[in-house]
Amino acid sequence: MATKKTYVLDTSVYLTEAAALRAFTSKNNDVVIPLKVLEEIDKHKKRQDSVGHNARQIIRRLDELRADGNLHKGVRTGRGMGVVSARGYNKDTLPADWSASHPDNQIIATALTLKKENPKRRVILVSRDINMRVKCDSIGLLTEGYQASQIVESPAHVYTGFSEYLVDDQEIENFYNGEDVFADKEEIVLYANQYAMLVSNSNPKKTALVRFKNYETPFCKIQKNKGGIWGIKARNKEQAFALDLLMNPDIHLVSLVGKAGSGKTLCAIAAGLQQVLEHKNSTKEPCYNRLIVSRPVQPLGKDIGFLPGTMEEKMGPWLKPIQDNLQHLMGDDSATLEIFMDRGKIEIEAITYIRGRSISNAFIIIDEAQNLTRHELKTIVTRVGENTKIVLTGDVEQIDNVYIDEVTNGLTYAVEKMKEYAISGHITLTKGERSKIATLASKIL
């Protein structure tokens, strides 16, 4: 029979995933919450991001447990589950060189106090803080890291939206001659709106680029926009795939992942301008009424509240990259851009002001989506109304949110969860096109 354990969870665990409390008590193990952790959680409850959401969620959960007992004595979280309690610490348990005023040391001291009081029980401190785990190990306290729920094993396993498919030479001939060519489900697994390169099994240089819809429908040709999309022409096959997805009215959610300079944001904004400001046919009716471009406010230093000025002035630094792309596409004509913004045809705003809205007849671009959590991304995508297309762009290798990583961020979840559905499409852009120095830097720095 497995020995029952007592887990002491660091603040970082709760702020990463509020459901962690239930996960650790599900196997009849107990969880002790240091009083210092409760104090630290309280400091984050007013934040308007995923950290604040998790802080509020765990506080509500603890308040619910109070209805079933007393946190000082301990409350069982359910039938066959462990007990949750809150505890302080004994200062005498800390090593002489450690300051009791340090928050991490107080949490460690709580675990040491429990270990001293229950020598036969395995007491384990769980933290995402590497240094905290090192400190625990240095004094003989069992410690574990915490990995938030992830949908794939590693970044290398994330769906790319593209694959190669070996076919008979005649199949490629038939495709170029306009004949129907189907994918064989016994030979290859493809998802809705996945792109493929048909490669001749007798001549590797003989290929054809196609889009897969389903096994009952023949391969689709890639749209060729000879005049370009708002002046933008694809420079590689991945950009051609991206523009094909962006201009397809039947695909309502598009995700574009790529390194800096791969053109994901520029292609998305160009497609948005084309379908909002241009006419799609002789009826002179635009595909969408407005273009909405937004991005998370995820600074590298202090957050937006420390910037002086009005709301528009505060938003300026975060929205400047978007404005740079728009001005480039508008021919550096800032007056024209301002006119369209004044008319409501183009909106640029922070994620904070999109949440809670219901948006119809719009082309929405969420830039830097890799900084969103699953909860935040779900909240945003569920704002989409009738005749609205939403595009998620980002680079999963450049995440500024310390509580998520390459395999736990919202963009990766969207890519993996939506890949099976015909109303969505994804492509990973692999080649940098901004400049030689930008491409080199993305590879070696």
Residue 210's CB is within 10 A of a number of other CB atoms, namely 21
- Output the pLDDT for position 394: 94
* pLDDT less than 50: residues of the chain: 1, 281-282, 299-304
User: What pLDDT sits at residue 282?
Assistant: 43
Kindly state the DSSP code that residue 344 receives in the 8-state scheme.
T
Q: What is the pLDDT of residue 316?
A: 61
Beta-ladder partners of 295: 350
**Strand pairing report for 290-295 and 362-366:** parallel
What per-residue confidence (pLDDT) applies to 237?
Answer: 93
CATH topology of domain 5-144: Rossmann fold (3.40.50)
* Per-residue pLDDT reduced to its tens digit, 378-394: 989 998 999 999 999 99
Kindly report, residue by residue over 354-368, the tens digit of the pLDDT: 767 889 999 999 999
Architecture per CATH, 227-444: 3-Layer(aba) Sandwich (3.40)
Same fold, 5-144 and 227-444: yes
pTM for the whole thing? 0.78
The DSSP 8-state label assigned to residue 392 in this structure reads E
Q: What is the DSSP letter of 305?
A: G
Residue with tokens 């190990």: 137
Domain boundaries in the chain? 5-144, 227-444
Q: Around 443, how many Cα atoms within 13 Å sit in the side-chain half-sphere?
A: 11
Q: Residue 242 is encoded by which pair of tokens?
A: 């991206």
Query: Among 175, 179, 180, 178, which Cα is nearest to 206's?
Result: 175
